[in-house]
């Protein structure tokens, strides 16, 4: 595969200053972290006053919805308990132009970014990177775009599969009857010149179609594990091991283009835990995300599900603990989409 050509980005766009939304912030005293207002709220102080501590900001859900006039990406909190609610829309990006969204974390830059896949009538689609709509005052502006080969069906999530603190982009590759695979792409999270690199690694083909996948910090090693729901309705949690030649972790614009392009490395998946009845119990999965809902350093699993009658539910689970186990429901919003004035949800991703 040749190096994807860069899409021209209007120079003016690159000059728009982007203030990353922090993953953590210094506060002068301790608000209730679970109900402590939106990310970057007024409770956050940069002053050197009393007893400062570094606390994570609350995770957020970014959801793509289909409205009467197009698609919109909007941000909410997580559901607040079983039978609960994700609460009001905190911020949104109109004219979103993508069915799928992936939110990615950079610990080095203390920020979340968002990637979408814009299909075009003629020619290949475009992967675009932009800040997520976390702040009502922000206007998410595309910072960079790169052509997407036609096999790329959707962007799914972020997953730090090499454990360097920076999420890789997880994309769904669909090759007709040959089956689905997941591809991982490094992202350059530079606040001024972000970058979406060529494929770094791919999984083997899955036996069935992939409905959803996301990185989740499931165990004690620094790498993320991978949660995948396949068309048989099973949820699987995999350890990911990279084999073959992994491209160096340098800004991809500096990566020399070899005369014979390197094949992506292979991401070998080893099953660590599963819930074979996941979709039977919870509704067809549309999206997954890894998210630490109670800020205890261990990630829970978020799922967007189609639950019948055109409804969608947003659910948060404790992931299964063994192969053949069960995900345990911790919180949900049964009316998250398709009801009560809430437009149909197409996909979601979470800040981490
Ligand atoms: Ca990484
Ligand atoms: Ca891990
Ligand atoms: Ca947790």
73: domain CATH number is 2.120.10
Per-residue model confidence (pLDDT) at position 166: 95
Per-residue model confidence (pLDDT) at position 19: 54
Strand partners, 312: 306, 337
Per-residue model confidence (pLDDT) at position 18: 53
In this structure, is residue 197 part of a structural domain? Answer: yes
C-alpha–C-alpha distance, residues 240 and 242, integer Å: 7
Over residues 127-139, mean pLDDT: 91
In this structure, is residue 117 part of a structural domain? Answer: yes
Per-residue model confidence (pLDDT) at position 309: 86
Q: 26 C-alpha vs ligand 3 centroid, how far in Å?
A: 21
C-alpha–C-alpha distance, residues 295 and 320, integer Å: 19
In this structure, is residue 50 part of a structural domain? Answer: yes
In this structure, is residue 208 part of a structural domain? Answer: yes
Which protein residues have a CB closer than 5 Å to ligand 2 (ion)? 219, 221
Which ligand is nearest to the Cα of residue 224, counting in written order?
Answer: 2
Over residues 225-254, mean pLDDT: 87
Quick one: tokens of 316?
């948060």
Q: Are residues 145 and 187 located together in one domain of the fold?
A: yes
Per-residue model confidence (pLDDT) at position 39: 35
Over residues 217-232, mean pLDDT: 95
Q: Are residues 47 and 145 located together in one domain of the fold?
A: no
In this structure, is residue 1 part of a structural domain? Answer: no
In this structure, is residue 46 part of a structural domain? Answer: yes
Q: Are residues 65 and 120 located together in one domain of the fold?
A: yes
Q: Are residues 20 and 126 located together in one domain of the fold?
A: no
Q: Are residues 124 and 45 located together in one domain of the fold?
A: no
DSSP state of 281: H
Q: Are residues 47 and 76 located together in one domain of the fold?
A: no
Q: Are residues 206 and 99 located together in one domain of the fold?
A: yes
Which ligand is nearest to the Cα of residue 227, counting in written order?
Answer: 2
In this structure, is residue 314 part of a structural domain? Answer: yes
CB-based burial, 38-72: b 16+ in 10 Å, e otherwise:
bbbeebbeeeeeeeeeebbbbbbbbbbbbeeeebb
In this structure, is residue 2 part of a structural domain? Answer: no
Q: Are residues 34 and 74 located together in one domain of the fold?
A: no
Q: Is the pLDDT of residue 13 over 50?
A: no
Query: Which domain does 173 fall in, by range?
Result: 55-350
Q: 291 C-alpha vs ligand 2 centroid, how far in Å?
A: 13
Q: How many domains does the chain have?
A: 2
Please tell me whether residue 329 adopts helix, strand or coil conformation: strand
Q: Is the pLDDT of residue 137 over 90?
A: no
pTM of the model: 0.85
Q: 216 C-alpha vs ligand 3 centroid, how far in Å?
A: 11
């Amino acid at each position: 595969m040749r190096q994807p050509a860069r899409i021209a980005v209007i120079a003016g766009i690159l000059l728009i200053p982007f203030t990353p939304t922090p993953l953590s912030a210094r506060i002068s005293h301790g608000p209730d972290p679970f109900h402590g207002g939106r990310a970057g709220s007024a409770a956050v102080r940069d002053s050197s006053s009393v007893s400062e501590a570094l606390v994570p900001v609350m995770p957020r859900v970014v959801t793509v919805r289909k409205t009467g006039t197009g698609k919109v990406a909007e941000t909410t909190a997580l559901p607040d308990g079983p039978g609960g609610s994700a609460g009001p829309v905190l911020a949104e990006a109109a004219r979103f132009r993508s069915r799928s969204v992936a939110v990615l974390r950079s610990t080095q830059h203390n920020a979340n970014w968002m990637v979408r896949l814009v299909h075009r009538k003629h020619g290949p689609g475009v992967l675009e990177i932009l800040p997520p709509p976390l702040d009502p005052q922000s206007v998410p502006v595309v910072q960079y775009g790169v052509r997407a080969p036609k096999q790329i069906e959707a962007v799914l999530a972020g997953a730090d599969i090499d454990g360097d603190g920076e999420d890789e982009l997880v994309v769904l590759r669909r090759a007709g009857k040959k089956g689905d695979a997941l591809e991982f792409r490094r992202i350059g999270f530079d606040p001024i010149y972000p970058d979406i690199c060529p494929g770094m690694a791919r999984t083997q083909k899955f036996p069935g179609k992939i409905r959803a996948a996301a990185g989740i910090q499931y165990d004690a090693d620094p790498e993320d594990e991978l949660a995948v729901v396949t068309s048989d309705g099973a949820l699987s949690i995999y350890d990911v091991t990279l084999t073959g030649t992994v491209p160096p972790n340098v800004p991809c614009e500096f990566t020399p283009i070899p005369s014979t392009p390197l094949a992506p490395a292979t991401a070998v998946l080893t099953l660590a835990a599963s819930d074979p009845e996941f979709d039977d119990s919870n509704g067809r999965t549309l999206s997954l995300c890894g998210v630490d809902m109670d800020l205890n350093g261990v990630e829970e699993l978020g799922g967007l599900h189609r639950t019948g009658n055109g409804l969608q539910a947003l659910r948060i689970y404790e992931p299964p603990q063994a192969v053949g186990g069960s995900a345990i429901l911790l919180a949900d919003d049964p009316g998250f989409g398709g009801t009560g004035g809430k437009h149909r949800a197409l996909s979601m991703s979470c800040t981490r």
